[in-house]
C-alpha cells in the first residue's frame, strides 16, 4: 500500500476509531471483535492488555526510529526523542476494542494513539530549507565608457519546507510510512539572463574625447561627437537614464545669471531663441542631450551642463533610444 493510500485509510477510519465519551470501560476478560486491526496489525480475539503488548512489539521499535532526509549529498537527521514521539499502546488497544463494539462484524482499522511535537518537525524542515536553498543569480549589465557586457546568470534551488514538514509529521504518527525522505530540489530560474540584457540600449559619454557611443546588443553601433559642460557648469558624471524625450522641446529657462534676460521664462520649441534644437532626451536635474545651432561648439566644453549634438546627429539618435536607456557619463 502506498503512503498516500495509507494516509487516506487512516483518515477514513478515524471516525470509527474515536473513543465515545460515554464508552463503557473494558469489561473483565473482554476481547476485541473479529476483523479489527490497528495500523494493519490484527488484534481480533485479544484483550486490551494483550493487544497493547502486540502493538508495542510490532511498532515500538519502529516509532523510535530517527527521520532521515537526504538531498544535495547532505544527510539530515531528526531523532524521534527530539520530536517527542509518544506511543500510547493502552489507548491504541482501547480504540480497537471500542471500534469493534460498534462495527457489527465489519472490518475496521484504527490509527495508533501516537503524538509528536510538530513544532520540532517544522524547525527541522526549516533548517533543511535554510541549508539547501540557493537564490538564483541574475545577470547584470556592466557598463564602461568603451565597453558593455552582461554577466552570467545562474539558476537557484528551493525546497518546499512546509510540504516536507507535513510528510515527516505523518511518518512520525504512522509506522507504515517511510522515515527516509529525499526532498525535491526545485530549480529557480533567474529573472534576468544575458539574453535579456543583450537587447538593452546603452549610451556612454566620454567627456575627455567629446564622444557619445550608442550600444545595441552589447556592441557599439554608432559614435557621435558632442559638446559638454563648461568648467564652471560641468556635465555631471555617473550613471543615469533617459527620463523623457521631446521633439522640438520647450525650454524652461533656468533662473540663473548666465541666462540673461530670458532667465525664468519659457521659450517655445522651434523658436530661434531656443538653444534646444530639434530633439531633447532628458537625463537628470535639467541636464539632457539635445541638438544645437552652435555647430562650432561640438568637440569642446561649451554648454551649461547639457550634452550638445549636431542637429542631424540628434535626429538620428533620437528614435534609437527608448526612455529608460542607461546613460554612463565619465
Marked catalytic residue, from 9, 10, 129, 290: 290
What's the distance, Cα to Cα, between the start and end of the chain in Å? 70
Contact 127, 106 (CB under 8 A): no
- CA pair distance 303, 226, nearest whole angstrom: 10
Marked catalytic residue, from 9, 129, 217, 306: 306
Q: Which three cell numbers stand for residue 139?
A: 545577470
DSSP structure string for 181-193: E----EEE--S--
Q: Is 149 exposed, middle or buried (0-12, 13-18, 19+ CB in 10 A)?
A: middle
Q: Is 310 a catalytic residue?
A: no
Q: Which three cell numbers stand for residue 288?
A: 539632457
Dihedral-angle region of residue 213 (phi above 0 means left; psi in -120 to 50 means alpha; beta otherwise):
beta
- CA pair distance 169, 143, nearest whole angstrom: 51
Contact 320, 201 (CB under 8 A): yes
Cα 147 to chain centroid distance, Å, stands at: 31
Catalytic positions: 290, 306
Amino acid at each position: 500500500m502506498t503512503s498516500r493510500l495509507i494516509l487516506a485509510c487512516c483518515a477514513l477510519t478515524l471516525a470509527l476509531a474515536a473513543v465515545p465519551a460515554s464508552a463503557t470501560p473494558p469489561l473483565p476478560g473482554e476481547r476485541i471483535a473479529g476483523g479489527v486491526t490497528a495500523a494493519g496489525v490484527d488484534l481480533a480475539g485479544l484483550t486490551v492488555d494483550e493487544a497493547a503488548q502486540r502493538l508495542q512489539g510490532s511498532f515500538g521499535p519502529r516509532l523510535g526510529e530517527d527521520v532521515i532526509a537526504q538531498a544535495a549529498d547532505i544527510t539530515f537527521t531528526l531523532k524521534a526523542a527530539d520530536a517527542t514521539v509518544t506511543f500510547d499502546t493502552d489507548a491504541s488497544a482501547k480504540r480497537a476494542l471500542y471500534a469493534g463494539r460498534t462495527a457489527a462484524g465489519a472490518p475496521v482499522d484504527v490509527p495508533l494513539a501516537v503524538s509528536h511535537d510538530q513544532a520540532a518537525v517544522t524547525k527541522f524542515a526549516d533548517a533543511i530549507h535554510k541549508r539547501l536553498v540557493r537564490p538564483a543569480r541574475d545577470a547584470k549589465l556592466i557598463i564602461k565608457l568603451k565597453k558593455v557586457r552582461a554577466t552570467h546568470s545562474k539558476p537557484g534551488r528551493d525546497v518546499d519546507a512546509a510540504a516536507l514538514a507535513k510528510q515527516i509529521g505523518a511518518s512520525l504518527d504512522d509506522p507504515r510510512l517511510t522515515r527516509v525522505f529525499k526532498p525535491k530540489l526545485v530549480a529557480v530560474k533567474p529573472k534576468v539572463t544575458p539574453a535579456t540584457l543583450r537587447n538593452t540600449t546603452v549610451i556612454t559619454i566620454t567627456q575627455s574625447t567629446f564622444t557619445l557611443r550608442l550600444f545595441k546588443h552589447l556592441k557599439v553601433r554608432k559614435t557621435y561627437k558632442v559638446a559638454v559642460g563648461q568648467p564652471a557648469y560641468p556635465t555631471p558624471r555617473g550613471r543615469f537614464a533617459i527620463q523623457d524625450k521631446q521633439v522640438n522641446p520647450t525650454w524652461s529657462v533656468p533662473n540663473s545669471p548666465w541666462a540673461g534676460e530670458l532667465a525664468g521664462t519659457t521659450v517655445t520649441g522651434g523658436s530661434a531663441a531656443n538653444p534646444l534644437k530639434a530633439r531633447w532626451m532628458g537625463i537628470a536635474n535639467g541636464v539632457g542631450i539635445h541638438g544645437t545651432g552652435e555647430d562650432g561648439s561640438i568637440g569642446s566644453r561649451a554648454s551649461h551642463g547639457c550634452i550638445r549634438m549636431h542637429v542631424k546627429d540628434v535626429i538620428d539618435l533620437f528614435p534609437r533610444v527608448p526612455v529608460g536607456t542607461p546613460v554612463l557619463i565619465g
